[in-house]
Chain A
Amino acid sequence: VLTQSPGTLSLSPGESATLSCRASQSVTTNFLAWFQQKPGQAPRLLIYGASSRATGVPRRFSGSGSGTDFTLTISRLEPEDFAVYYCLRYGSSPSFGQGTRLEIK
């Protein structure tokens, strides 16, 4: 089970966001990804392997962590970054976190 916190994060453009994803068991081989989802769209891959940025993802998105605790950091928020973010333990039996909504303050 993946638990994301906070459920909702209210910030202003230009600020930094820190999103947490905690696993009930260690995520071996760091098969942990982060996705961004906007209304009416499919999820977009941001981070894989806990810390590798997917192709085309801006440098302000960074992932860190290992074992059971993972973090997505978005520095200098842009207006287009306000969305819902999901972590995913991937592999043969994937599991999603419940999501963090990043909203404009």
Chain B
Amino acid sequence: QVQLVQSGAEVKKPGASVKVSCRTSGYTFTGHYIHWVRQAPGQGLEWMGWIKPNSGDTKYAQNFQDRITMTRDTSISTAYMELSSLRSDDTAVYYCARVNDQGLPDYWGQGTLVTVSS
């Protein structure tokens, strides 16, 4: 069965970077884009960007253009999202999601809580 398993919770200081991993299984990793979505405490869902695992091509939401990097390691079917220059308002749960060929998120990771605090 399709599974996306994310790395554990992180606590970071303002100005630091965080790298969240999303290990996939149960399907062909290179056959589906991976999207990243975040949710601040008590807030809604915010799309951050996607990576095409086959080529490494990426597209980022404008809000994150300057400080986000998405990568992948096809040998271990894992996608990564790194966010730099962290601020307190980056405190959120970060989700990875597999999308189908129409861009519909059909499987989600369990989420990774990133807390930014001095």
Contacts and interface: CB of A to CB of B under 8 A. Distances in A.
Nearest to A32: B104
A24 interface: no
B46 A96 contact: yes
A56 interface: no
B103 interface: yes
A94 B103 contact: yes
B104 A31 contact: yes
9 contacts: A35-B45, A37-B45, A42-B110, A45-B104, A45-B105, A88-B45, A93-B61, A95-B47, A99-B45
Interface residues of B, number: 20
A43 B108 contact: yes
Interface of A is mostly: loop
A45 B106 contact: yes
A98 B102 CA distance: 22
Contact of A86 (B44, B50, B102, B106): B44
Contacts of A96: 37, 44-47
